[in-house]
Chain A
Amino acid sequence: MVGRRAVKAATVGLFAAVASLFAAAVVRADETCNSPYITNLIKGQEDYVHVWTLGVEGLGDGSDKLVTIGANPKAKDYGKVVHTLSVGGRGEAHHMGFTDDRRYLWAGRLDDSKIFVFDLADPAKPKLVRTIADLPKRTGYVGPHTFYALPGRMLVQALSNTKDHGGVTGMVLYNNKGEFVAKYDMPTGEIGGVKGDGYGYDIGINPAKNVLLTSSFTGWNNYMMDLGKLVKDAEAMKRFGSTMVLWELKSMKPQKVFNVPGSPLEIRWSLKPGDDWAITAAALTSKLWLVKRDAKGEWQAKEVGTIGDPAKIPLPVDISITADGKGLWVNTFMDGMTRYFDLSNPEAPRETYAKQTGKQVNMISQSWDGKRVYITSSLLANWDKKGEDNEQFIALYHWDGKALTEQWRIDFAKEKLGRAHHMKFTVKPGTKT
């Protein structure tokens, strides 16, 4: 809070000159896949992209780190690493999320369950201001995955538990100071005729409907296992999530469990005002699923599309929805393909474009205007490919509606950084875009 205090202290004497007040307005989403409670949309040009990066033994300092890269083509640092912040050790760095005021960035590790909070007062030089290390002890959960801002709070979806390191888990609520507030077990009983598996992965909120959706992946035993070994272990392969859960947001009570086989991962609500549907991709079955209300007003989940050839297990990992809700990027890890789906009819998505963007690709993040698409390579340390196929990079592509054109690519191995995973955008202070 030091930086914040400094800024506020600096406002002393300015208040007398202030003659109008503007409250940052309600927004439905970020660019384009964050909590709807996050304000300060970057609708223009982002200045930086921050990459939560897994350390690799023998590569540079070997530590997990937040890597900051210049993203503004008008700046000298465009496409260059401008800052790295090592947090110490390797704990399976994975995902990140902004607080509602976008001042702080929370980042989690799936192995040691540590949460790091970075202050972005100067986004060119993020500072580590807090480490939360007691999540397992406090909650019995393991593997903080999704960081989803609520007003003044951060809702964290975990992946596993301390008891058996399986997939039964829950969500944890912290206030923005990092203090524990509450925990919520994922449902394991029957709700609406479907039994919950207790697994978790992503969170997606639709404030206008007072609903929260969750998806399901797998526990520590699996996500920390070598992928080659895992796929040969028939028993382990049974331990993947096959449900989504609809929660009433206000009460945080599960209302309905949907059967969605094959580990439904990222959840994206359509950002188009008036739309009330969400889409997800099931990793193991390579299917797109739509969550929408039926004619009777009942929320339902149904399979609406296929990604690549499911027989080849392309493994759809991250998805990114366009701001108008009419398009969806899908990265498939195994074949390194970046695919675009026309979502004009969300009941029948159509793949209209595909390009191989790497030997392995995982996360995909697009700018609000949809013109820029960033791609990173790492899925999990033990699931990434081996040898020459283990490319580690971030790449920027431009999208003109017809084709992706690469602008730059940073080799994270060559730069001795590590495995590039989740990305978030920021802008320079005082810059209007």
Chain B
Amino acid sequence: MKRAWAAALAVAWAAAAFAARETPPAAPRMDYTPPAPGTYRLERIQRAPAGIVLDSDGRPRPFAQFTTGRVTLLGFMYTYCTDRYGCPLAYETFVEVRRRLLARPALAGRVRLVSLSFDPTHDTPEAMRAYGGAFLRRERGFEWKFLTTRSVAELLPLLDGLGQDAVVEVDDSGRPTRTIHHNLKVFLIDPQGYVREIYSPAFLFPDVVLNDIETLLLERPFGR
């Protein structure tokens, strides 16, 4: 119990600047036509980290198995996230990206979506399987993976490596609340495992994401 309280106090700093000073934002809007695929370059921002994750069947897998070989769109999430501009926004975007990719089979088989949980305790492989539902089924070569980790200790290197913040909110008496804050980031990763774009809600639009995916697929594979 003491350890839990110490932990709560240790994260107290993190509660500072969030909900109390945020007002519901206006919905992000896309008021432009994104540049055509292949007319621009997405920079190599950073390499996706190494680590171990659990697939939806509970099998430990190298994280690299889900960040290489295809163009990957990856977002951290909680199955019970309710913030409109948090996980649900990413989820809706993923669903729309999936729908459009399935209409283009030549692309669909070269792309994967990955939803990776922040909460290994609650979001067990079973919970992730239930969350993914019908989207778990591989269709026209397209795949959407619903992953979790065995522990926070195995999650942390992935968060740190990708630069995804996540902090537990505490209440006025220093107790952890049932809220965790994070900036919504969605990572676009090329088949070699390099992060090539990091979307914030300000530009997480299916049109933009799809053009970026296609831009990466139009690149000549390295080493050829």
Contact = CB atoms under 8 A, between A and B. Distances in A.
Interface string A5-26: 1111111111111111111111
A148 interface: no
B36 to A, nearest CB: 10
Given A18-B180, A432-B20, A25 B25 contact: yes
A11 B159 CA distance: 13
A106 to B, nearest CB: 14
Interface of A: 1, 4-28, 36-37, 39-44, 100-103, 121-122, 150-153, 173, 175-177, 179, 181-182, 207-211, 248, 250-253, 273, 276, 427-433
B21 A22 contact: no
A19 B80 contact: yes
Contacts of B7: 10-14
Contact of A24 (B4, B23, B151, B184): B184
Contacts of A16: 121-122
A427 B156 contact: no
A42 B39 contact: no
A40 B184 CA distance: 12
A23 B21 contact: no
A20 B177 CA distance: 9
A26 B202 contact: yes
B92 interface: no
B208 interface: yes
Contact of A1 (B32, B152, B160, B168): B160
A100 B183 CA distance: 9
A181 B24 CA distance: 34
Interface of B: 3-4, 6-8, 10-26, 28-32, 34-35, 39-41, 43-46, 77-78, 80-87, 89, 118-122, 151-153, 156, 159-160, 162-163, 165-170, 172, 174, 176, 178-185, 195, 198-203, 208
Given A1-B160, A15-B121, A22 B19 contact: yes
A214 to B, nearest CB: 18
A118 B5 CA distance: 29
Contact of B34 (A22, A100, A181, A250): A250
Contacts of A211: 32
Contacts of B174: 430
A429 B167 CA distance: 12
A37 B200 contact: yes
Given A7-B11, A14-B168, A250-B34, A23 B156 contact: no
Contacts of B78: 18, 20-21
Contacts of A103: 165
A209 B29 CA distance: 9
Contact of A19 (B24, B159, B178): B178
A103 B181 CA distance: 13
10 contacts: A7-B167, A13-B4, A14-B11, A21-B81, A22-B19, A40-B16, A44-B21, A207-B203, A250-B208, A428-B13
Contact of B21 (A18, A20, A276, A433): A433
Contacts of A14: 4, 7-8, 11, 168, 176
A107 B15 CA distance: 25
Nearest to B156: A8
B167 A152 contact: no
Contacts of A24: 18, 22, 86, 181-184
A12 B198 contact: no
A410 B207 CA distance: 51
A43 B12 contact: no
B181 A23 contact: yes
Contacts of A1: 160
B35 to A, nearest CB: 5
B32 A210 contact: yes
Contacts of A18: 78, 119, 122, 168, 176, 178-180
Among B84, B201, B208, the most chain A Cβ lie within 10 Å of the Cβ of: B201
Contact of B26 (A22, A42, A43, A273): A273
8 tightest Cβ-Cβ pairs between the two chains A and B: A23-B86, A429-B13, A251-B40, A40-B17, A19-B178, A21-B81, A26-B201, A10-B10
B165 A152 contact: no
A430 B170 contact: yes
B178 A151 contact: no
B156 A21 contact: no
Given A20-B178, A151-B200, A430-B174, 8 more contacts: A8-B160, A11-B168, A12-B7, A13-B3, A26-B202, A152-B198, A210-B32, A251-B41
B40 A253 contact: yes
Contacts of B11: 7, 10-11, 14
B22 A41 contact: yes
